[in-house]
């Protein structure tokens, strides 16, 4: 893989100030953090820097204040929540630039930690403004990016700071990059990609890239309906983008040229209502009635995917295979996820997954802990799968 700089490459950090970009865009309710997953993800990097003798100044955004100070989007409540997770005091300062911020950092005890205010309170953050970058860079001696989830944006605190300070990947970022390289950069073959979700239109770039990179591409969810319809299969009143038939055929032609096998459902679960526990039946592809909708893949399809998993050495997963939020239309997602997790746990498969619905689906299946790696980065994970350069990663290259 392309080499990138790690904290271990930074040399003696005693007395240095590390500006660390973290993802603290956490769910909040009544001023309290309701899920501390992203806070816990930052602990290893922060502790590593503290142990090395550095002061740690945390940079993060929260919500979409659009360059204005919005009281409800202040990071102040997050400082206390992170202190509990870290097991150490975390100060807070109500800005992310300026002399008073520099003084607050200077007043920190050795190995101290301070959270700076929401970087998006400044209009220049999302514009990648070099002047704002200079002001923030003046606060520290090195820049550490530990927020892969924001790496697809060329914002001041995700990429531009690297133009003014030595830049390194945090431990969480490092783990993400290593795992993703194993999945798509330099994977063990055969590689199976499982892509689900509602619409082909949202994943055209993704599919076009994957067919040139993987050996097998399994398509599920509403996306599969569009592929089936393009082949002349009647999908009834299922979610389907009939106007993308030509796009589907282009993707299929590209797959054939690249030697990528496309796997589509072989049987389907249909119902007349989109609701949990709706009356349903399993039917062959040519047997969907005009008033029925496809809500999941059937047993033959599940067996076909299980067989593909058995052939694969690497699987990369994005998107559920059916309406997994509604029982019993979660069956295909759960069964296939269980098989992927079993093989990964047995050391027979590298299993990497990412994207919001994907993480929720694997948690629902109770197997997230058995996957080799799960990325919580939505947009960045998708853009990486699309083969796009991520500015926050490019800035860390050695």
* pLDDT, tens only, 309-368: 999 999 999 999 999 999 999 999 999 999 999 999 999 999 999 987 888 899 999 999
User: What's the pLDDT score for residue 2?
Assistant: 58
Domain with CATH 3.40.50.1260 in the chain: 7-171, 178-385
- Fold classification of 178-385 (topology level): Rossmann fold (3.40.50)
This prediction has a pTM of: 0.89
Q: 388 an active-site residue?
A: no
Q: Which member of 63, 67, 98, 379 is catalytic?
A: 379
Query: Cβ contacts of residue 158 below 8 Å, gap of 6+?
Result: 21, 145, 147, 150, 151, 391, 392, 395
Report the pLDDT value the prediction gives residue 269, as an integer from 0 to 100: 98
Q: Is 203 one of the catalytic residues?
A: no
pLDDT at 185: 87
Low-confidence residues in the chain, pLDDT < 70: 1-2
Tokens of 87: 């097991």
Q: Token pair 């002349």 is at which residue?
A: 232
Task: Give the pLDDT score at 100.
Answer: 97
15 is catalytic: no
| Cβ proximity of 322 and 297 under 8 Å | yes
Which member of 102, 154, 199, 345 is catalytic? 199
Which position among 356, 378, 387, 388 bears the catalytic label? 356
Residue 379 a catalytic site member: yes
Tokens 């599969």 identify what position? 224
Indicate the fold that domain 7-171 takes in CATH: Rossmann fold (3.40.50)
Residue 378: its pLDDT value, please? 81
Asked if 110 contacts 139 with a C-beta cutoff of 8 angstroms, the reply is no
The one catalytic residue in 5, 16, 21, 38 is 38
Tokens of 265: 């459902």
Q: What is the largest CA-CA distance in the chain?
A: 72
Share of the chain above pLDDT 70, in %: 99
């Amino acid at each position: 893989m392309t080499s990138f700089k790690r904290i271990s490459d930074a040399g003696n950090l005693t007395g240095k100030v590390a500006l660390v970009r973290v993802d603290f865009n956490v769910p909040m309710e009544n001023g309290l953090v309701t899920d501390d997953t992203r806070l816990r993800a930052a602990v290893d990097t922060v502790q590593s820097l503290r142990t090395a003798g550095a002061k740690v100044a945390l940079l993060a955004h929260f919500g979409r204040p659009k360059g204005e100070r919005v009281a409800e989007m202040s990071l102040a409540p997050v400082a206390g929540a992170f202190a509990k997770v870290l097991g150490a005091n975390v100060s807070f300062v109500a800005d992310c630039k300026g002399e008073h911020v520099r003084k607050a950092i200077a007043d920190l005890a050795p190995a101290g930690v301070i959270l700076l205010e929401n970087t998006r309170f400044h209009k220049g953050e999302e514009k990648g403004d070099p002047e704002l970058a200079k002001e923030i860079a003046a606060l520290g001696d090195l820049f550490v990016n530990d927020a892969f989830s924001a790496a697809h944006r060329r914002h001041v605190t995700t990429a531009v700071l690297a133009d003014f300070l030595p830049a390194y990947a945090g431990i969480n970022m490092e783990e993400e990059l290593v795992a993703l390289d194993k999945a798509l950069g330099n994977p063990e073959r055969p590689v199976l990609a499982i892509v689900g979700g509602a619409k082909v239109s949202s994943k055209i770039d993704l599919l076009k890239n994957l067919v040139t990179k993987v050996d097998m591409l399994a398509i599920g969810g509403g996306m599969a309906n569009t592929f089936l319809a393009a082949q002349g299969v009647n999908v009834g009143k299922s979610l389907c983008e009939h106007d993308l038939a030509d796009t589907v055929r282009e993707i299929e032609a590209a797959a054939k040229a690249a030697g990528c096998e496309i796997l589509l459902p072989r049987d389907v679960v249909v119902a007349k209502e989109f609701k949990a526990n709706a009356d349903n039946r399993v039917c062959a592809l040519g047997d969907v009635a005009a008033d029925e909708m496809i809500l999941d893949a059937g047993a033959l399809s599940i067996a076909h995917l299980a067989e593909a998993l058995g052939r694969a050495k690497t699987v990369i997963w994005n998107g559920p295979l059916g309406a997994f939020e509604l029982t019993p239309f979660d069956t295909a997602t759960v069964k296939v996820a269980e098989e992927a997790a079993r093989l990964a746990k047995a050391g027979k498969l590298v299993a990497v997954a990412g994207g919001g619905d994907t993480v929720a689906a694997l948690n629902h299946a109770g197997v997230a802990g058995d996957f080799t790696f799960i990325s919580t980065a939505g947009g960045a994970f998708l853009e990486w799968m699309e083969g796009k350069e991520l500015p926050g990663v490019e800035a860390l290259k050695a």
